[in-house]
Amino acid sequence: MSETAIPASGPGRPTLRGHIRIARFDHWVKNLFVLPGTLVALTIDPARLHSMSVWRTVAGLLAVGLVASSNYVLNELLDAPFDRLHPARRNRPAAAGELNLPIAWIEWLAFFALGIAAGACVSLAFVVNLGALWIMGLLYNVPPVRLKDIVYIDVLSEALNNPIRFLAGWYLTGTAAMPIMSLLIAYWMAGCYFMAIKRYAEMRDIRTNGYLALYRKTYASYTEPKLLVGILFYGSLSMLFFGEYMGRYRMEMVVAFPFVAAVMGVYFALAFKPDSAAQRPELLIREPLLMAVIGACAVVIVLMLFVDLPWLHQTFRPTTPVRP
C-alpha cells in the first residue's frame, strides 16, 4: 500500500499530548479483568487473603497497565498507515503525525521495563505472565507474523489477553494452586465473543468505506454472517466451559447465569448501533444499561463465590435410578 493511497490526516507535528495519548491510559479499565483471577484464587486458597499486601497488589495492577501501554504504543506505531484509512482512527497520534518516532520507540520499551520492574515486586510467576502479555503484543502487531491480519486468528489471539490477565490476578495472591483450566478457556472464549462483536460493529459502521479491506486485511475474508456465526460459537463455548467450572467447583454460580446472559445480550445489542461503543471499549462506560447489568452481574458473582447455598446442591444433585 503506497503512501499516496493514504488520505492525509492531522497536523503532522509531534506533541507531548500525542505521546501521552498513545499509552491509552483510558484503556487501563481493562485491568478489571485481572480481579476475577484474584477472587477465584481466594476461593480455592482462602488462606492467601491474610498474606496479600495492598502494596504488592497495587504494584501488580500498575505493572499490568504499564505492559499493556507498551503494547498500545507498539500498536499505534505499526498501525499508523492503516489507521489513516479509518474514519475515526485516522486521528490517532501516530496516524496524524503527532509523534517523534525515536522517542515513541523509547516510550514503548520504557513502559515494558517499568512494568517488569513493578511486577518483580509480586513474584517470578507474575513477571513471566507479564512477559506473555508483552509477547502477545509482538505476535499480534509485528510482521511477518502479525496475527491481526489472519482471519479468525486475529480474534483468538487478541482475546488470549483475557486469560493472561486472569492469571495475573491469580498470581497476585501468591497461591501455589494450579489455575482452573475450564475457567481460563471460558474467559478466553468470552474475550473472543466480545472481540467478534467489535469486528462486526466496525464492519457495519465503515463498510461503505472503499478502504475497508486495506484498513484491516481480515475484512477481505470476513462477512457479517461469518462474524455472527463466530459470535454465537464463542459465546456458546464460553458458557459451556463456565458451566463445567460451576459444576466442579462452585454450584452457587448458577445464580449468576441469568446476569451473565444479560451482559452478553446487552453487549450484543450494541453491535447494531451506529458508531457503536463496542468498537471502542474505553467508551463502554457511557452506556448506562450495560454498566447497570455489569454492576449487578459483578455483585452477584462475588456473592456466589463466597456465600454457600446448600439447597442449590440438593436441587442440582445427580439423579439416581429408583430400584424396585
* Same domain membership, residue 270 and residue 174: no
Q: What is the pLDDT of residue 265?
A: 96
Q: Which residue reads 513477571 in cell numbers?
A: 127
Average pLDDT, the chain: 90
Q: Is residue 321 part of a domain?
A: no
Q: Is residue 122 part of a domain?
A: yes
Examine the domain organization and report whether 202 and 99 are in the same domain: no
**Global pTM value:** 0.90
150 and 203 housed in the same domain: no
| CATH number for 62 | 1.10.357.140
The answer to whether residue 246 is domain-embedded is yes
- Do 97 and 17 meet the contact criterion of CB atoms below 8 Å apart? no
Number of domains comprising the chain: 2
Query: What is residue 211's predicted lDDT score, i.e. its pLDDT?
Result: 65
Residue of higher predicted confidence among 315 and 321: 315
Residue range 38-55: average pLDDT?
A: 91
Are 36 and 122 within one domain?
yes
What is the pLDDT averaged over residues 280-299?
90
Q: What one-character-per-residue DSSP string does 191-227 give?
A: HHHHHHHHHHHHHHHHTT-TTHHHH-GGGGT--HHHH
On the question of pLDDT at 36 being above 90, the answer is yes
> 279 is in which domain, residue-wise?
180-308
- pLDDT value of residue 313: 86
Residues 66, 49: Cα–Cα separation, whole Å: 25
pLDDT at 208 over 60: no
Please say if the pLDDT value at position 207 is more than 90: no
Flag whether pLDDT at 87 surpasses 90: no
Amino acid at 167: L
